[in-house]
Amino acid sequence: MRALIVAAVVGITGAAAVAVWAGGKEDAPPALTVLGVPVDAEMLDQGADLYAENCASCHGADLEGQPDWRRRLDNGRMPAPPHDETGHTWHHADQQLFDITKNGLASVVPGYESDMPVFEGILSDAEITAILGYIKSTWPERERNYQAEITSKNEEGS
């Protein structure tokens, strides 16, 4: 028998919910994880708070990104992209998202200059993981499944 657990989280965007399936049925969507760590209500609460404190000023309270995020700024850098389904965050594997957050974009694209700060020494690995869990929990099922597949392929290639 399959069980559906819904963890409600009150975050910056109001009430967000993440569905986590248990039971191992083939038709069940994959459980929401970040770097193999299951996302639970406590992680979502922490991630929402940390996102509000550290990310929302650039990426938006509703994960909407900065205006014209695909067009370069006068300084040649790109605006902060959205982290909702309209952006490209869900196109990247967990490890890449973690590395970008912790060590900056230049850690995955050498020489790339960005206005995004490096969070190493500011946020712990668990806090970065919680933020990513919160972001992923807001994506529609299609984007979550796509991102889970990319993450799985990335882990296999390691």
Q: What is the pTM of this model?
A: 0.81
What is the CATH number for 81?
Answer: 1.10.760.10
The mean of the pLDDT values for the chain is 84
What's the Cα-to-Cα distance from 4 to each of 21, 108, 130, 136, rounded to whole Å?
5, 36, 21, 18
* Domain assignment present for 18: no
85 touches 116 (CB < 8 A): no
CA-to-CA distance for 74 and 55, rounded, in angstroms?
A: 22
Q: Which domain holds residue 87?
A: 33-156
Whether residue 118 is predicted with pLDDT greater than 90 in this model: the reply is yes
- Asked whether residue 119 is assigned to any structural domain, the reply reads yes
Check if the beta carbon of residue 39 is closer than 8 Å to that of residue 33. yes
Work out how many domains the chain is built from and give that number: 1
Q: Is residue 52 part of a domain?
A: yes
Averaged pLDDT, 82-102: 96
Gap between the Cα atoms of 4 and 28, Å rounded:
9
